[in-house]
Structure 1
Amino acid sequence: MRYSHIQWRRAGVGVAAAALLTVPAVTGSAYGAAVPPSPSVSASSDSDFVQLSPAVAAKLDTAIKQVMSEANVPGVMVSLSAPGKGSYVKAFGVADKATGAPMKQDMYMRIGSVTKTFTVTALLELVDQGKVGLDDPIGKYIPGVPNGDRITLRQLAEMRSGLFNYSADEGFVKALLSNPTKPFTPQQLLDYAFKHPVLFQPGKDFLYCNTNLILLGLVVEKAGGMPLDQFIEQKVVKPAGLTHTSFPTNAAFPSPHAQGYTNQTLSGKVEKTTDWDPSWGWAAGAMISDLSDLKSWATTLATGTLLSPKTQAERLKTIPTKIPHGGYGLGIFNIEGWIGHNGSLPGYESLTVYLPEAKATMSLVLNTDILHNGSEPSTLFGRAITKVVSPKHVYDIPAEEPHASSSPSSSPSSG
């Protein structure tokens, strides 16, 4: 079979990579990342983010088109903004390779592991309400979890549980790729994970893992008193003022949307993933949004609008990962000063981040997750863009080593 163990682990998504099957779509952080300053108190500097002038826009156009060409990306949408510096919002390429229909700024996209930021925000709202405690053991809420009496909700959110990532299980990968329109239940996902021994004791290491988010989603349901999709839509999406963001419970995809393309297939050939059922990502990567909402969410997420200052401060405390100049907090990362998350699942990738020093946002979505020289295409765009607009803060996640099986960005992405 063509797919690799590494690539499927990408799907977890977050810190360093942001993929559900690869994640993190997030993968990691720094070797000794410091706790980032709170966005609300960071000093502003004109040198942190450039004026988005016509000349800079031309440089961005060139940089984005170069990445598209080199990485063979069908289409991408990019949004940049900062107070007093202007904005840059553009769509490039095609949404459908068969018809040549252009990518447009108002298209819905699957956002992969950026979903994690919504799930953890829901959890932290319950913390603020006193309904759950970050240092409660997961066993208090969900029975049958290995080390469930010792793994805390905090350790799940910061990827230090030691649990096996279900999206790295060979049986899961085969089941998903054999019938990608089949729905999965949260318990089925946990069953794939719990077949494996724990990888390390709670709190002893960092490993990006989608299993953690499935458990946190179940905690939100139990403590919040309603299904996760309803809680997130009512308590997170709506209060945040997002009008084009949803948590689907099936494969339905609002229009207009782009077709997604992946090579994470049984044949190894590139296939469309538009109608794949995202339930396998659930709390770790099932959500849908658009460029405008992601721009807004970047600020809400990083500044803690929906949370108490105390809880937001807890969220932003980062721990070291394997990414230079990056750290992971509670369902959020800080890479070279950019706070947020990336996402990747077969066919789609996203990046939603905020730079406190300049109050700048950078959001992008694209319709492929096919790696280029070991790198997520979202990382390639993020790096190329930030070299132009924030040279002191260049977003980058190093390419995975061919056999780096422990990387958070190497599974079917839900990152």
Structure 2
Amino acid sequence: MDKATTAKLDSVIAAAIQQTGIPGAIVGIWGPNGTYTSATGVADTATGAPMKADFHSRIGSVTKTFTVTALLQLVDDGKIGLDDPISKYVNGVTDGDRITLRQLAGMRSGLPDYTTSEQFATDYLADPKGGFTPEQLFAYIKDEPLKFTPGTEVDYSNTNTILLGLVVEKVTGDSLPNVIDAKILRPLGMDSTNFPTTNAFPEPHAQGYTNQTKDGTIAVATDWNPSWGWAAGAMISTLDDLRIWAPALAKGDLLHADTQQQRLQTVALTEGQEDAGYGLGLFNIEGWIGHNGSLPGYKSVAVYLPERDLTMVVLVNSDVEGDNTDLAGALVTPITEVISPDHIYG
């Protein structure tokens, strides 16, 4: 990109690192006016090792975009219907005969989020490196009532995507990681992206820092097992691979045009807030299409702005909660104020 824009972006990222306490950030922007990539701050607060642009990162809920894409590919193959009830594929879901796959993908099922269960939090923090099965995750809320009538509200719940992952496995007869690898990652050449089934973490990567601990102190979460997020949040990727994924997701490269059109139909996250909505496994925020992610130690945003043909990926190695550490507010919003002032992500 031109020197003036590059200087502004350098300043924004440096200020975010200095003011928020985020250890390090990896940023990539690609568009008609050029490319910008930056690795700022440290990958390891103990050694001072620098952050580098080729590091692998845990991407949290960006995983949802892959799971729902795999589901929609089954729609295109005629193997499932978006308006099928979840009870057709998974037993034991409260009111499962009136919750559809479309409602699950669009966060409109009314099912509570298992991650808000006190028992889940207790079990997870007791052994962060231990593993969960999808069935164990669902069991935390299996007998709880719906929060609202399916289809009437938008309420972000990881439970929805866990159930969709189980649908993909039942219909394909294969594991979700295998399906995503064969049907999404390999066709797009995303060789540095994977869906781990353990706490394994490809090198190179930054250390990740979190205060999601028993006593709220900051801990190194690099090797914590992401299986608790499974279809909703377990995947690992890189800047270069997410550069491929964000536009492919927004354009529907792997789906039929009609299916993609349905995917992009968003419902406002808050009544009257038409500039931010959720579609089928993706957000549209001021025209930026994609997803954000957060899990202990890492946060991410991977989005594409069709109107400007702009791709933006931001990865940081901390999810420490604080007054000024929100990734969108600290980094993504000010970045878009520079590169797309008419489409500010926030």
Shared fold, TM over 0.5: yes
> Offset at 1:348?
0.2
Distance in 2, Cα, partners of 1:300 & 1:378? 22
Normalized against structure 1, the TM-score is what? 0.82
Partners of 1:370 and 1:377 within 8 A in 2: no
8 Å Cα contact 1:164/1:194 also seen in 2: no
**2:245 paired with 1:297:** yes
Verify: 1:278 aligned to 2:254, yes or no. Answer: no
Q: CA offset at residue 324 of structure 1?
A: 6.0
* Offset, 1:224: 1.6
- Corresponding residue to 1:365 among 282, 305, 315: 315
User: What are the residue-to-residue correspondences of 1:18-37 with 2, within 5 Å?
Assistant: none
Which one of the candidate residues 77, 82, 87 is aligned to 2:31?
82
* Alignment pair present for 1:263 and 2:263: no
Q: Is 1:182 matched with 2:130?
A: yes
What does 1:154-233 correspond to in 2, within 5 Å?
A: 154-233=102-181
**In 2: Cα distance, 1:359 partner to 1:290 partner:** 20
Q: Which runs of 5+ in 2 are unaligned?
A: none
Contact 1:336–1:395 at 8 Å: present in 2 too?
yes
Q: Do residues 69 (structure 1) and 27 (structure 2) align?
A: no
Partner deviation per Cα, 1:4-37 (whole Å, 9 max, x = no partner): xxxxxxxxxxxxxxxxxxxxxxxxxxxxxxxxxx
C-alpha displacement of 1:375: 5.7
The alpha carbon displacement at 1:69 in A equals: 1.5
Q: Which whole-Å deviations, capped at 9, do the CAs of 1:29-60 have from their partners, x for residues lacking one?
A: xxxxxxxxxxxxxxxxxxxxxxx311110110
SS in 2 for 1:64: helix
Question: In the aligned structure 2, how far is the partner of 1:275 from the partner of 1:378?
Answer: 25
C-alpha separation in 2, matches of 1:280 and 1:378 = 24
Whole-Å separation in 2 of the counterparts to 1:225 and 1:376: 39
Alignment-derived partner of residue 99 in structure 1: 47
1:128-167 map, 5 Å: 128-167=76-115
Conserved 8 A contact 1:315-1:330:
yes
- Which whole-Å CA distance do the structure 1 matches of 2:245 and 2:155 have between them? 25
CA contact (8 A) 1:260 1:272 kept: yes
CA root-mean-square deviation: 1.0
**Secondary structure of the residue that 1:369 maps to in structure 2?**
coil
**Identity score, percent:** 55
Q: How many residues align?
A: 344
Structure 2: how far apart are the matches of 1:372 and 1:354?
27
Structure 1 residue 346 corresponds to structure 2 residue 296: yes
CA deviations on 1:245-287 (whole Å, 9 max, x unpaired) are 0000000000001110011110110001001011000000000
TM-score by length of 2: 0.98
Relative contact order higher in (CA < 8 Å, ≥ 6 apart)? 1
After TM superposition, the structure 1 = structure 2 runs for residues 29-48 of structure 1, keeping only pairs within 5 Å, are none
Offset at residue 197 of structure 1 (A): 1.6
Q: C-alpha displacement at 1:121, in angstroms?
A: 0.3
Aligned to 1:327: 277
Distance 1:206 1:351 in 2: 21
Cα distance in 2 between the residues matched to 1:274 and 1:238: 26
Which residue pairs with 1:399 in the alignment?
none
Q: Is the 8 A contact 2:22 2:325 kept in 1?
A: no
The structural deviation recorded for 1:371 is 2.8
Larger deviation: 212-221 or 376-385? 376-385
**1:379 positional shift:** 4.1
Q: Is the CA contact 1:259–1:272 (under 8 Å) kept in the aligned structure 2?
A: yes
